[in-house]
Amino acid sequence: MSEKKKIIVVGNGMTGYKFCEKFIEKGLNNIYSITVFGEEPWAAYDRVHLTDYYTGTDVHDLKMAPRAWYEENGIELRTSYKITSINREAKQVINVHGDAFDYDALVLATGSSAFVPPIPGVDKKGVFVYRTIEDLDAIKAYIPQAKSAAVIGGGLLGLEAAKAVMDDGLKTSVVEFAPRLMPRQLDEAGGEMLKSELEKLDLDILLNKATKNICGNGKVTNMQFADDSTLDTDMVVISAGIRPRDELARESGLTVGERGGILVSDDMLTSDPNIYAIGECALAQGAIWGLVAPCYDMADVCAETLLGKEAAFTGADLSTKLKLIGIEVASFGDAFGVTEGAIPIVYHNIVSGIYKKIYVSADGQYLLGGILVGDAEDYNMLYQTYNSKIKLPKNPEGLIIKGTDGGFELSVLDLPDEAVICSCENVTKKSLIEAVDEFDFTQVSQLKKATKAGTGCGGCVPMLDDLLTAKLEASGKVVKKVICEHFDYTRQELFDLIKVGEIKSFSALLEKYGKGKGCEICKPLSASLLASIWNEHITEHANIQDTNDRFLANIQKGGTYSVVPRIPGGEITPDKLIVIGQVAKKYDLYTKITGGQRVDLFGARVDQLPDIWKELIDAGMESGHAYGKSLRTVKSCVGSAWCRYGQQDSVSFAIKVEERYKGLRSPHKLKGGVSGCIRECAEARGKDFGIIATDKGYNLLVCGNGGANPKHALLFATDVDEETCIKYLDRFLMYYIKTATPLTRTSKWLEQLDGGIEYLKEVVIEDSLGIAAQLEEDMQQTVNTFACEWKKVIESPELLKKFKPFANTEAVDDTIQFVPMREMKKPANWG
Amino acid sequence: MQDIQEVQEWVATVPATEFETNGSNAVLVNGKQIAIYYFADTQEWYATDNECPHQKQQALSRGIIGSEGDEPKVACPFHKKSFSLKTGQCLSGEDYKVNTYPVKVEDGVVYLGI
Ligand code: SRM
Ligand SMILES: Cc1cc2nc3c(=O)[nH]c(=O)nc-3n(C[C@H](O)[C@H](O)[C@H](O)COP(=O)(O)OP(=O)(O)OC[C@H]3O[C@@H](n4cnc5c(N)ncnc54)[C@H](O)[C@@H]3O)c2cc1C
Ligand code: SF4
Ligand code: FES
C-alpha cells in the first residue's frame, strides 16, 4: 500500500477534475496515490455554465462530481487550500503555513485568471471580473445599488456577462477596443449583424473604445475613453481576456512563455521531468487554449504519458457556438477564408437578422469554415461537414439557404464513424452508435451518462438527440418520448389508456401499465390526466400531486403558501376588495397586486389556508387556481364601457370567458386577454389566447406567450362575434389539452404541431378531422361540472384533515420565520 | 421494510389509518419534525427527517414519493431533489443525506424508532 508513488495535482478546476477522472478510468490509481489541492472553497464546478449559477442554478448542480465521488475513488481532495511554492529539489509542494507534501509526479492545473488591463481605477469599488462563483456573488451583491453597468470586452465571455447583468435590470453597455464584436470569431458583416441584434435587446454597444480611466470617488461613477468621450456607469465588469496562472511555475524556475503560460511539450511535460502542466495554464503548441475541449484533451494526454504510453496534444479546433440566449452565433474552421482560393457563399438578411457565410474549397469539394449569426441551427451539421471532410453536393449554397434546388440534407447517420460528435469529451459517432446498440438506449440522458458526450459545453446535445432518433428509426423502432422509467408510454397514449380502460386511480394505472412505485414526474402527470378526463375534484388525488396542487396554493420560500382569489377580468367591487384587505390584515399576510390583475396574499401556513379561504368564500369569492396547471386569468382593459376609444365591451367579454374556462385543467397554465381596441391595453397578444375588439366584432389570436420565451399570438379568426369566438376557443383549448405534451405552453405546442397555424385553423375552424363537435361537447361537460375546489375543501372534514401540519398533534409549525420588509414582511432567507 | 437499526426508543404516533395512503405526513416527536412515508400498495413504511438538507426547509413530508430503480424515494417539493428512503442518500447526484428512522406498525398504531 504505502509503496504507491504519489501524484499531486494543484488546481481543482475543470481540467484538474478531468485529470482525476482519467486517473481512475485508466487505472493510474493502481500505481499512484493522489492528492488534489484546490484554492477555491468548492469541489471543481462547471465554469462553462457559470452563468447558469448567476441566473439561479444551485452551486451543487454545477459541480463536476460530488465530494463523495472523490472519497469513493480514494482521491484526497483539499479545497480552500492554496499551494504557494514548489521545492523541486525535494519534490515537495508547500502551502502558506509552510506545510510540505511530497510528490513523485506533480500536475499543475492552475488554470487562468481574468486579465485585468492596467487602467487607472480598476481597484475602485464596483469593478469586477467574471470567472469564479465568488466573482458572481460579488456582482450579485452589488447589483441592488447599481442602475447601469459597463462590460469591458466584446468577446465571447464579455457578451455573456453583459447579457447576465442586463437581465438583472441594469442599463448595460459593452465597451470593445476593436472595431467589431467578437473580433476573433466574426468578420465585419457578422460583427455588424450581431451588434444590431444585440442593440434590439437594449444592449448598448460601443466600438473602437480604449478605456483610459475608471473614475469615481472610491466607487465607480464613470469611465473615460482615449477619444475623450465618457460613459456614466455604476459598475464595471472586466472581461478582456485571460492570463494563465503560471506564478508557481515561474517562481520555481520552470520555463514559462514570454507572454505567460507554463511551457510544455506535446506530452504535457514541463521543463522539469517530474512536473506536468495541463489546461489553461499550459503553453502547448505555442498557444494558451481557453476552451474546455483542448484542456480535457491535455488531461487525457497527461494521464497517458504517466502510464508510460505515447500520447501527444497536437492542438485543437477553436470552433465555437455562443450560448447567448436569443441570438445565435457560431464560427468554425477557416472562418475568415484565408485558405488559398477559398470561395465565399453568403446569405445576408438584414430584416430577419440572419447572416451566414461559408467558405468552400477552390475545387468546390469541401467546406472550409464559416460564420453564422442569428440562426445557428445548422451549426452542428456544418461543423461535421467541415470537420469530417464530407464531399459537398453540386450546389453548396443549399448548406445555408434552405429550400434551394439541390438542397443538402445530411443526416447524422451519413457521417463517417470517426466523426467527433462531442469535442469536449472526444466522443466519436462510432462509440455513440455502439453504446446505443449495446444497451438499447432510448433516451439522450442514458446516452450522456454512458458516454459522457454532451456533458461539457452541451453544444452537441441536439445532435445526440438526432443520432438517437435516426438510429431508432432506422432499426424500425418507434421513437417516442416516454414519460419516465415507470411508464413506457407517451402522455397521449396514457390519456387514451386511462379513458378507454376507465382507470380512475394512479394505483390502478401503475398496476396495469407501469412498473415500480411511480415518481414526481409520472404522478402529477397522471393526476392531471385523471382530473381532465374524469373532471374530478383535484384533491381526490392529493397524494400524487405536486405540493401546489396538493394544498391548493403556491408554496414559497420558508414553506408558507400564497392565496389568490379569482378576480375575473380584473373587475372587483369595493366590498370584496375590503374583505381581501381585512383577511390579509387578520392573518398578517404580505399583499401584492399581481401581474395578472388580481391580488396575491403571501405567507399563510398550511393550517391557516382553510380558515382564510372560508372567509373569502363567505364573501363570495372563489379559487383563482394560481397553483394549478389550469386557466389563470383573462386579463382585460376597461373597454367601451368607459374608454373613449373602446370598440367593444372588453370587460364583460373577459369576465364571460374567464367564468367559462375557470378551473379547466390543462398541460400547462393558460392565460387569456381581451382588449377593447387595437391599442391593446390588455396585452392580449402575449397570451395563450387573445381577443382584440374591432368595429365589427373581435379578432381572435392564439398561442402567444409572455414568460421566458415571449411570442406574439397569431391571428386566427377575424371580425367574429362573441358566440363564434367562444366556439373556436372551446375547440382550440380542448384540442390543445388532448394533444400537448405535459408542461408545454400553447406557443411551444404550436411550434411542434406539423403544419403550424394553418393546420390548426383547418382542424378548429374547418373541422378537417371531424372532431369539432366532440371537442365542444367535452368542453361543455367540463364547464357544467365546475365547482370551486376550495369551497369543497372547507365543507369536507375529510379534506380539511389534509391541512393539518402534523399527524400526531394539533401543534403548528413554529420553524417558519419572517423578517420585516417595508411595512409588511417576507420569509427569512434560505437555510 | 428496512433493517431494524439500533433503536433507543419506540415512540407511538397515531393509528395507521390517520396517514395518507401512498403518501406522506409529518409528525412532531420531541420537538423535531419527522416525515413518515406510507406505500399502501406494498405495505411499506419509511421515515426520515422532515428537513430537506438542500435549503433546510421542513418539506420532505410534502414531497411526492415513488421509486428510482428498486430504491424507494421522496422528491422534495422545492427543487425536486430526491432522497432514498432506505439510506437517506441524495439520489440527484449530490452528497446530501437525511437521517432515516425505522418504522413499525403494532396493533394498528405506527411506531417510530428514535
Ligand atoms: C404572482 C405573480 C407575480 C406578481 O407578483 O405579479 C407570479 C408568480 C409566479 N409565477 Fe408567474 N406570476 C405572475 C404573472 C406572470 C406573468 C404575467 C401575466 O400573466 O400577465 C407571466 C408571463 C405571461 C405568461 O405566462 O405567458 C408569468 C410567467 C411565469 C412563468 C413562465 C411561463 C412561460 O411559459 O415561460 C412561470 C414558470 C412556469 O409556469 O413554469 C411562472 C411561475 C410563477 C410562480 C408560480 C413560480 C413558482 O412556482 O413558485 C410564482 C408563484 C408566486 C406565488 O407563490 O404565489 N410565471 N407570470 C403573477 C401572478 C398572476 C396572477 O394573478 O395569477
Ligand atoms: C463565464 C465563462 C464561460 C465560459 N464558457 C465556455 C464555453 O462556452 N466553452 C468553452 O469551451 N470554454 C468556456 N469557458 C472556459 C473554460 O471554463 C475554461 O477553459 C476551463 O475552465 C479551464 O479549466 P482549468 O481547469 O484549466 O482552469 P480553471 O477552471 O481556472 O481551474 C483552475 C483552478 O486551479 C485553482 N488554482 C490556481 N492556482 C492554485 C494554487 N496555487 N493552489 C491551489 N489551487 C490553485 C484555481 O482556483 C481554479 O479553481 C468559459 C469560462 C468562463 C469563465
Ligand atoms: S414571480 Fe415570476 S418572475 Fe418573479 S421571481 Fe417568481 S417566477 Fe420569477
Ligand atoms: S429545499 Fe429541498 S430540494 Fe431545495
Nearest CA to ligand 1 atom 40: A743
pLDDT band of residue A402 (cuts 50, 70, 90) is low
A224 bridge partner residues: A213, A230
A331: cell is: 464560427
Distance CA A83, CA B10 (A): 51
pLDDT band of residue A406 (cuts 50, 70, 90) is very low
> Would you say B63 and B57 are in contact if contact means Cβ atoms under 8 Å apart?
no
Q: What Å distances lie between residue B3 and A241, B12, B66, B103, CA to CA?
A: 57, 19, 20, 10
Relative to beta strand A112-114, strand A127-129 is unpaired
Nearest CA to ligand 4 atom 3: B79
Distance CA A457, CA A813 (A): 44
- A interface test, pick of B11, B28, B83, B84 with most A CB neighbours within 10 Å: B28
pLDDT reported for residue A541: 81
pLDDT tens digits for range A565-594: 999 999 999 999 999 999 999 999 999 999
**Helices (H), ranges, A185-306:** 188-200, 247-251, 292-306
**In this structure, what DSSP letter does residue A677 have?**
S
- 3-class DSSP state for residue A55? coil
Q: What Å distances lie between residue A211 and A157, A178, A191, A224, A232, CA to CA?
A: 18, 12, 21, 6, 13
**In this structure, what DSSP letter does residue A708 have?**
S
**Does position A804 have pLDDT exceeding 70, yes or no?**
yes
Q: Do B79 and A802 touch (CB under 8 A)?
A: no
**Does position A816 have pLDDT exceeding 90, yes or no?**
no
Mutate to test the pocket of ligand 1, among A590, A600, A711 (most ligand atoms within 8 A of CB): A600
Q: Do A520 and B75 touch (CB under 8 A)?
A: yes
pLDDT (average), residues A658-662: 96
Q: Do A550 and B62 touch (CB under 8 A)?
A: yes
Residue A707 Cα to ligand 3 midpoint, Å, equals: 9
Least-confidence region, from A377-381, A718-722, A734-738:
A377-381
Neighbours of A577 (CB within 10 A): 12
pLDDT (average), residues A730-743: 90
A517 to chain B, any CB pair closer than 8 A? The answer is yes
Q: Which of B36, B55, B95 sits opposite A831 (nearest CB)?
A: B55
- Taking CB atoms and an 8 Å cutoff, what residues of chain B touch A743? none
pLDDT tens digits for range B16-30: 999 988 999 999 998
Q: Which of B33, B64, B95 sits opposite A546 (nearest CB)?
A: B64
**Which residues contact ligand 4 via a Cβ below 6 A?**
B 52, 54-55, 57, 59, 76, 78-79, 81
Residue segments in chain B with a per-residue pLDDT below the cut of 70: 1-7
Interior angle at CA A134, CA A130 and CA A136, nearest 5: 45
> Would you say A534 and A782 are in contact if contact means Cβ atoms under 8 Å apart?
no
pLDDT reported for residue B2: 44
The answer to whether the CB of A16 is under 6 A from ligand 2 is yes
DSSP characters over B20-48: PTTEEEEEEETTEEEEEEEETTTTEEEEE
Closest CA to A535 of A789, A773, A764, A790: A789
pLDDT band of residue A405 (cuts 50, 70, 90) is very low
**In this structure, what DSSP letter does residue A397 have?**
G
Neighbours of A248 (CB within 10 A): 23
Q: Do B66 and A815 touch (CB under 8 A)?
A: no
**Which are the contacts of A228, defined by CB distance < 8 A and separation ≥ 6?**
none
**Does position A626 have pLDDT exceeding 90, yes or no?**
yes
pLDDT reported for residue B32: 93
H/E element holding A15? helix A14-25
pLDDT tens digits for range A270-293: 999 999 999 999 999 999 999 998
**In this structure, what DSSP letter does residue A113 have?**
E
ipTM exceeding 0.85, yes/no: no
pLDDT tens digits for range A56-110: 778 888 899 989 899 999 999 999 999 999 999 999 999 988 999 999 999 999 9
Say which ligand is closest to the CA of B50: 4
- Taking CB atoms and an 8 Å cutoff, what residues of chain B touch A517? 39, 41-42, 65-67, 72
Residue A175 Cα to ligand 2 midpoint, Å, equals: 24
Interior angle at CA A477, CA A476 and CA A481, nearest 5: 145
The answer to whether the CB of A570 is under 6 A from ligand 1 is no
pLDDT reported for residue A146: 93
pLDDT tens digits for range A472-513: 777 766 556 678 889 988 877 888 888 888 899 999 999 999
**Does position A322 have pLDDT exceeding 70, yes or no?**
yes
pLDDT (average), residues A317-336: 82
- Taking CB atoms and an 8 Å cutoff, what residues of chain A touch B55? 830-831
pLDDT reported for residue A614: 96
pLDDT tens digits for range A101-151: 999 999 999 999 999 999 999 999 999 999 999 999 999 999 999 999 999
H/E element holding A749? helix A746-752
Q: Do B78 and A518 touch (CB under 8 A)?
A: no
pLDDT reported for residue A315: 87
Nearest CA to ligand 1 atom 34: A707
DSSP characters over A317-340: ---EEE--SSS-EEEEESTT--ST
pLDDT (average), residues A594-607: 95
Least-confidence region, from A62-71, A331-340, A537-546:
A537-546
pLDDT reported for residue A399: 80
